[in-house]
Amino acid sequence: MKQGKEKIERQASGRRLQLDRSRRLAAGRAGRAPSARESGLEALVAPGEAVALEKGAFLVKEGQSGEEDFLVVSGALMLFKSLPPDRRLVIGFRFPGELVTLRRCDAPWPITVRALMRSKVRRLDCGGLCSGPVVGAGPTRALLDHASDEIAALEEHIMTLGCKRTEERVATFLLELVSAIPCQSQGADGIFLPMTRSVIADYLGLAPETVSRTFSRLAEDGLIDLPRPSQVVVLDWPALKALAAGRGPGLPKPPG
């Protein structure tokens, strides 16, 4: 009885902390001036055509040619490669304010990009950047920063897949979503997951059943709460960060 009462109190305290944290984040977003990087990207896409996508719609497909990249305005996108016979390797996700570009300007798309929910993007003329006049210092720095961030994120993901245990992978995934703020909306009720457990599994190299069991175990351990499948409330941030860094208890590393 005592342990059950302590768990309930811990969850209530976690929800209050989550609400306070979300309010501070919202206030910071509303009042801060855009960074040079953000201003540079906005300058590049301001004239671009807006493209609306329904849930499940394809933005581009692997092997497709074209001379434009995209900036996500709203919604969420999934980047993946198709594998035989009917498998899928999810490479990453893109949220509002993030670029969709994983190729040379003169090369076909090496990935497929699909909307996880109703989304909107703006086109960026990659061909014009490659063959036209040199862009300003702000946009150039923004693109260089983006390329560096992209490489660092892919390296981190490779380490997650190759070295981390199941619970560590899921904890890392949740922290990745939080790090997308303010790109990804996180309201007072927690972290919104626009992707299914199956998509998360394909991103983390796990089975969907394993992902579901791991979410349940993190909830049982008091690290998170799961009001709905698409909603995660973090109750213990220090424990979640320690787990993602390999300093917490975890399930055995999956075979293969």
Residue 74 phi, psi (nearest 5): -155, 160
Distance, first Cα to last Cα, the chain: 41
For residue 80, the model assigns a pLDDT of 95
Delineate the domains of the chain, giving CATH numbers in brackets.
Answer: 2-33+164-244 (1.10.10.10), 36-137 (2.60.120.10)
Q: Which residues of the chain fall below pLDDT 70?
A: 1-47, 102-105, 125-143, 146, 181-189, 249-256
Give the Cα-Cα-Cα angle 232, 236, 238 (nearest 5 degrees): 125
pLDDT score at 151: 74
Q: How confident is the model at residue 115, as a pLDDT? A: 97
The DSSP code sequence of 35-78 is PHHHHHHHHHHTTSPEEEE-TT-EEE-TT---SEEEEEEES-EE
What tokens does 235 get?
A: 């109750």
Rounded Cα distance, 135 and 149, in Å:
20
> CB-based contacts of 113: which residues, under 8 Å, 6+ apart?
58, 59, 60, 70, 77, 78, 79, 94, 100
pLDDT at 179: 77
Outline where the chain has alpha helix (H). 2-31, 36-45, 126-131, 137-163, 166-179, 197-204, 208-220, 237-244
For 185, other C-beta atoms within 10 Å of its C-beta total 18
Res 27: pLDDT: 31
- pLDDT at 129 (0 to 100): 56
Tell me the whole-structure pTM to 2 decimals.
0.73
Q: Residue 248 is which amino acid?
A: G
Decide if 176 contacts 71 (C-beta within 8 A).
no
User: Residue 186: beta bridge partners?
Assistant: 191
The CA distance from 37 to 17, in Å, is 31
Q: Residue 248 gets which letter from DSSP?
A: S
Instruction: Give per-residue pLDDT as tens, 177-206.
Output: 887 755 444 445 578 899 999 999 999 999
* Closest C-alpha among 245, 243, 237 to residue 20: 237
pLDDT at residue 131, as a whole number: 53
Confidence (pLDDT) at 62? 92
Distance CA 155, CA 186 (A): 26
